[in-house]
Amino acid sequence: MSTDRHDDHHGDVRAPGNLSRDATPPDLRAGAEEADVGVVIVAAGSGSRVGGGELKQFRWVAGKPMLLHSVQAFHSRRDVAMVVCVLPKAFVGDPPPWLFQCDIDRLLLSVGGRERTESVANGLEDLPDEVKVVLIHDAARPFVSDATIDRVIAEARCGRGAIAALPVVDTLKEVDESGRVVRTLDRATLWRAQTPQAFPRDLIEQAHAKARAERLTATDDAALFERLGLPVVVVRGSERAMKITDEGDFARADALFTVNE
Ligand code: CTP
Ligand code: MG
């Protein structure tokens, strides 16, 4: 495992199992002949809404550290060539010991930035050459399902961005600063964006390069893609893929996990 994002990681990279790196590189559509999916898991936030001493992405939820859930979910797939975990700087030099339980031949650590967008950009820079499809995932969503991963990858292989999302079920109100309702939004057209989000590598790199040049950030990567006028589609996410944002979410996630086990 490399601990410095300025290292030349590429020499460390090797395909899992008996998949050969010498095979003809597949194009985007070719699928799982060779592992060509790179995953960036952003885990460099400070968890300010949860608070407390330990970072939320390292706290235990549903039987193991939160970040480990998603690293293992991606490592269990044969199409994943590399998982890049983006961590706060102090932890890149001194990672939590349980990370070494992972498939360390398919694990790199990158240093996070001040904003999530910057953390993703740092992770993208460290992806090895064979990656053609990029998945971006929040460590704060520990329960990522294989079916959702399949769906976003399938869309990205068709040359578009794809995000896991759920339709909005509540009626949504736009409200002004005084608390007065300005208007009711048309719920039928509104979706809640989750992660993972998948993109053809060259296009998401362009989207991030533009964001960096224009000093723009966004709360998800699809927004940067949309700004380039590139197509993004939604695929069905799941309630299980909830984001752990505040203290109460830990208990909710534990309960959800127990129910669904
Ligand atoms: N993240 C990151 N780098 C940042 C900010 C956020 O990698 N500079 C990651 C978080 O670790 C998390 C995901 O982006 O996995 C979604 O962010 P969020 O849930 O907002 O987590 P935090 O930013 O850590 O929490 P808070 O906003 O409460 O401080
Ligand atoms: Mg945040």
- Any alpha helices (H) in 76-200, and if so which ranges? 89-93, 116-125, 146-156
- What's residue 259's pLDDT? 64
Residues measured by CB to lie within 5 Å of ligand 2, the ion? 45
Q: What distance in angstroms lies between residue 45's CA and the mean position of ligand 2's atoms?
A: 6
Atom 25 (ligand 1): residue with closest C-alpha? 47
- What's residue 30's pLDDT? 54
Write phi, then psi, for 134 (nearest 5 degrees): -110, 130
Q: Is any atom of ligand 1 closer than 6 Å to the C-beta of 196?
A: no
Q: What distance in angstroms lies between residue 69's CA and the mean position of ligand 2's atoms?
A: 19
- What's residue 19's pLDDT? 33
Match 């984001």 to its residue by tokens. 243
- What's residue 29's pLDDT? 65
Instruction: Flag the least confident range among 23-27, 62-66, 98-102, 248-252.
Output: 23-27
Q: Per CATH, which fold does 9-260 belong to? A: Spore Coat Polysaccharide Biosynthesis Protein SpsA; Chain A (3.90.550)
Q: Is pLDDT above 60 for 127?
A: yes
- For residue 50, the tally of other CB atoms under 10 A from its CB is 20
- What's residue 151's pLDDT? 98
- Any alpha helices (H) in 4-87, and if so which ranges? 66-75
- What's residue 21's pLDDT? 37
pTM: 0.88
Q: What ranges do the domains of the chain cover?
A: 9-260
Looking at the CA of 117, which ligand is closest? 1
CA atoms within 13 A on the CB side of 33: 13
